[in-house]
Structure 1
Amino acid sequence: MNVSNFKKPLKRSITIGCILFVVCLSSFICIFGYLGDRKSLFEAYESRMTDILNYVYYHIDQDDLAQCVETGVPSDKYWELQDFMDEIMERMQLHYLYIIVPLDTYEPGNVINVLSADTAYGRMFEPDGYYLDYLIDDEYTREEALKYYNAMQKDDISFFEIVSGWGDDYSGIMPLKDSDGETYAILCVDFEISEIHNTILIYTITNVVMILLVSLVFSLIALSWINKNVTVPVVSLEKSVNDFAALSHIQRDPGLLRYDAPNITTQNEVESLANSINQMTQDIKTYAANILEAEVQVQDMKSQVTRMDMLAYQDALTHVKNKTWYDTIEERVNEDIALGIAEFAIIMVDFNDLKKINDTYGHDYGNEYIVGATKLICDICPFSAVFRVGGDEFVILLENKAYEEKDDLYNKLIQTFMNTSKDETQEPWKRYSAAFGLGVYNPYDTCMEDVFKRADKVMYENKQRMKKAEL
């Protein structure tokens, strides 16, 4: 039958309906999807920036840095802070991390640099960067400097986008105050987000296209159902579709979904619709299978994230805990001290002869020396947390059963390393030698750092005695 014989051909009706449906649906999804993704993304950035700002803030000696800002003369702590911020910038892959003093002035020089972190690569080409008390006179417009100046007047963290000669960034600003409560500078962290908007838009459009394809098929079904010129074919078609829909509600295995296609040979839009529905059921089965596969992938990704979290607190060479995890444990121990329930001891370890091994036999053997010596420590103290806090410096935290045996463990470590260092049957990089220092918590200690310093002092004295004995 010729399509022109129909007063309202299904093809034309479906085409018009689908076009309207596609336009409306895509408009809503584009707008709300983009806004939702953008909001979530920026909230995630703000949370991360807040963590970074707080982490750096607690490592700043506010009065010392305020004195540096006032005098324009960097102190020893200033240089330590620069190294620390450089490390944070390198590790966190930040765009910028810096401390400045914005000025309320219309002059070109409206920002004073205090400290600008940089990567190791950046320091190679510009070792000093912007130095302390440097007046930046050509990088900030009046409007940009005013944003920083207004943020400096607040008591909490501010966030805003800023477009400058350095790129399109999202900035987090924290005011810095000295012990008198006076704001003397601001700590800033920037993330480069120039391509974020495009990424969100592409992601949204991709989802819209997938949804519209499925929606288009359902639009064809809906329009065919209400067509007055279709009777029996629609009944059989409706029955087949309803049977398939009922099965899909209770069936979790897409492979068991079955669609009994009716035998429709009307040679008009209804037959075309029946064929489309048949294809649609196959697409739905494929789509459902893809969703289940995606769920499995999400679970795998969660497992990988958990493993990555574990690796983030593990030293890559020795596989003991790293300095970041030590800082976390220190917070927990300090809470125990505040509650009056702390009972622990610390053994400070510093390996001897590592530089000699590296210089004589190479860093591969030096690494083998560190790994072997660390394993020896773990074998002697199997119930204690071992942390690598420096290149050849380790900390052993003795708690519970290990705390009760602290003296025996300490003496065993000293004796074992003394024996291995004198074992001439072993290669030089297997003659492990180390200096140890024991510090035991007492009620006069206010924090874990007090015990750490005592252990470090004893270790240093033992190391000096060992050097004198070798002369």
Structure 2
Amino acid sequence: MKIYNKPLKRSIFWGCFVFFVLLCLILSILTYSTYTKSLYRSYEERMTDIINYVENHIDIEDLSECVRTEVESDKYKELMDFMDGIMEDFDIHYLYIVYPIMGDEPCMVNILSADTKYGREFEPDGYYLCSVAYDDYELDELKLYYDAMNENDGSDITFFKDFSAWGYDYTGLKSLIDPDGNKFAVLCVDIEVSELRNTIKLHTAVNVILIVALAIMFITIFMMWLNKNITEPISKLEKSVVAFAKTSHDQKDPEKLKYDPPEIHTQNEVESLSNAVIQMTDDMRKYVISVLDAEDKVEDMRNKVNHMDMLAYQDALTHVKNKAWYDKTKERVDDDIIKGKARFGIVMVDLNNLKKINDGFGHEHGNDYIFGACHEICVVYDHSPVFRIGGDEFVVLLENKDYETRDELLNKIKATFALTSADESKDPWERYSAAIGMAVFDSKKDISMDDVFKRADALMYEDKLKSKMARE
């Protein structure tokens, strides 16, 4: 009889090996591609939020005038401080406003280049309003900015990869358009591509290792099962059949034509093999689906947890911080007081006439009254956290810049409420009125944030009584 040189056990082993190698390769490619797209999309959303946030703080008319006259205005300096703050608070490479020029003398005109506090003090970049850079940008790089500016109409963000002397960056760009409808600059934010690549490589490597380990484990278990349930029974069957064939060849004695059956405990070898392969393929498909589903569920749960965490500390009506976040902030401020580095003030705002609005016009307009008044507070104290700690009570924590200009801001918020409350052209729920009190931390007599809060609350109450007596 012919002896074959491809045993079933070896053929199945190599078939499984090739299958799992291809499966690992495909899954690795899919994982890399999916995660890369997801990561870039998340960075694009982050860059879009930063650009839109900065754009909302730009006075276009003032900035375009600064570019035209090459003179820095007060708003320009405020914008520079604000963009520097963005550089400090967000993990980005660069944040800047420029204007690319192509032609006989290609160059980049700097409008505003944000920097960190350390960079401003120790490593200034040397760029100032309307400074011109001829050699800092390669021609191809300059053309990237120029084409992106022409393509971008200011309504959305244009993204591109930029390899320059400052590194390999992923850039988001938005055109700034002056009141006459002309593009006078582009607002850009850069994130290092190397950071993105390292994150992608790490994630992909972990997934590849996991897939390979699971494949090795599965092959080992499968071959043990295969040897016990298929290859050994078939081998015994083959030996029995070959032995019978040898004894029966040219055999003339019928007594010697006996078949010695092997001890096989499987009911149908071919059916078992077929079912095993089908089950294996089905199990692998379900396993891969379960792994991908598990990753999606983990990511979805992470997003939900982050969203719930945000909602837990946000007032549902006004979207400012709520009492829970105020209590957490108080822990941080009290710790600063203990360490001797506290420097802050508290503004207490209590809305007037809310009950009259609710009783006379309904709670819906009462909510409009609360929301509108809160908006006025946030506009004035745009660099400070605002907390809604009660139905009509708001607290502003003054630190840093707003702390330095606290008296000016206090006069401004009082003037704002005085103006809106006296404007009879508006509906009653749009005529905001409030009692206001401000207190500043004094290390000689304050041992906690509550001490400052109580003084601010007392001053607010005095203001409310004065306002009530004035109306009577």
| Cα deviation, residue 302, structure 1 | 4.7
Residue in 1 that maps onto 2:20: 22
RMSD over equivalenced CA pairs, Å: 5.3
User: Which aligned pairs between 1:168-317 and structure 2 lie closer than 5 A?
Assistant: 168-216=168-216, 217=218, 220=223, 229=234, 232=264, 302-303=304-305, 306-307=308-309, 310=312, 313=321, 314=325, 317=329
After TM superposition, the structure 1 = structure 2 runs for residues 15-94 of structure 1, keeping only pairs within 5 Å, are 15-94=13-92
Could you say if the C-alpha distance between residues 210 and 427 of structure 1 is closer, same or farther in structure 2, counting changes exceeding 3 Å? closer
Tell me if the contact between 2:99 and 2:108 (Cα under 8 Å) persists in the aligned partners.
yes
**In structure 2, how many angstroms separate the alpha carbons of the residues matched to 1:29 and 1:221?**
25
What residue in structure 2 maps to residue 446 of structure 1? Answer: none
Q: Can you list the C-alpha shifts for 1:150-185, whole angstroms capped at 9, x where unaligned?
A: 111121421011111111111100000011111000
- Distance in 1, matches of 2:447 and 2:331, equals 23
* Residue 318 (structure 1) aligns with: 330
The one-character-per-residue Cα deviations of 1:338-366 (angstroms, maximum 9, x if unpaired) are x99833474999xxxxxxxxxxxxxxxxx
Structure 1 Cα separation of the partners of residues 162 and 51 of structure 2: 18
Where 2:112 maps in the other structure, the secondary structure is strand
TM-score, length of structure 1 as denominator length: 0.57
AA partner of residue 303 (structure 1): V
| Mapped partners of 1:297, 1:342: distance in 2 | 36
Match of residue 329 from structure 1: none
The whole-number CA distance in structure 1 between the counterparts of 2:302 and 2:159 is: 34
CA contact (8 A) 2:109 2:133 kept: yes
Instruction: Determine whether 1:124 maps to 2:118.
Output: no
Check 1:437–1:58 CA distance in 2 against 1; reply closer, same or farther (3 A cut). Answer: farther
* Pairwise CA distance, 1:94: 1.4
Output the CA distance in 1 between the equivalents of 2:101 and 2:22. Answer: 49
Match of 2:136 in 1: 139
Give the aligned partner of residue 383 of structure 1.
391
Partner secondary structure for residue 388 of structure 1? strand
Change (3 A) 1:299 1:128: closer
Shift of 1:210: 2.4
Distance 1:209 1:169, change over 3 A: same
The answer to whether the 8 A contact 2:31-2:207 is kept is no
- Give the C-alpha shift of residue 13 in structure 1: 2.7
Secondary structure of the residue aligned to 2:329 is coil
Asked if 2 retains the 8 angstrom alpha-carbon contact of 1:123 and 1:129, the reply is no
Identity %: 36
Residue in structure 2 matched with residue 113 of structure 1 by the alignment: 110
Equivalent residue, structure 1, for 2:368: 342
* Matched pairs, number: 339
C-alpha contact (below 8 Å) 1:173/1:189 kept by paired residues = yes
Rg larger for: 2
Q: Which ranges of structure 2 fall in alignment gaps of 5 or more residues?
A: 238-263, 315-320, 333-364, 378-385, 418-428, 468-472
Deviation string 1:73-93 (CA, Å, 9 cap, x unpaired) is 111111011111111221122
Contact residue 60 and residue 81 of structure 1 kept, 8 A: yes
- Judging changes above 3 Å, is the alpha-carbon distance between structure 1 residues 77 and 194 closer, same or farther for their aligned structure 2 residues? same
Amino acid at match of 2:114: A
Q: Decide whether the 8 Å contact of 1:114 with 1:132 is kept in 2.
A: yes
Structure 1 position 158 matched with structure 2 position 158: yes
Q: 1:49 corresponds to which letter in structure 2?
A: M
Q: Which amino acid aligns with 1:432?
A: R
Shift of 1:61: 0.9
Conserved 8 A contact 1:14-1:223: no
TM-score, length of structure 2 as denominator length = 0.57
- What is aligned with 1:12? 10
CA separation of 1:23 and 1:387: change in aligned 2, threshold 3 A: same
**What is the identity, as a one-letter code, of the residue corresponding to 1:46?**
E
Residue 432 of structure 1 corresponds to: 455
Distance in 2, Cα, partners of 1:425 & 1:158 = 54
Contact 1:151–1:158 (Cα < 8 Å) also in 2: yes
- The code of the aligned residue for 1:167 comes to G
Structure 1 residues 103-141: Cα deviation after superposition (integer angstroms, max 9, x where no partner): 11364x611111011112212213574111111223211
8 Å Cα contact 1:62-1:177 kept in structure 2: yes
* Counterpart amino acid of residue 173 in structure 1: L
Contact (CA 8 Å) 2:97, 2:185: kept in 1 or not?
A: yes
Whether contact under 8 Å (1:106, 1:142) holds in the other structure is no
What does the per-residue CA deviation read over 1:5-30, in whole Å, with 9 as the maximum and x for residues that have no partner? 99544563344223312331233223
1:245-271 deviation line (CA, Å, top 9, x unaligned): 99xx9xxxxxxxxxxxxxxxxxxxxxx
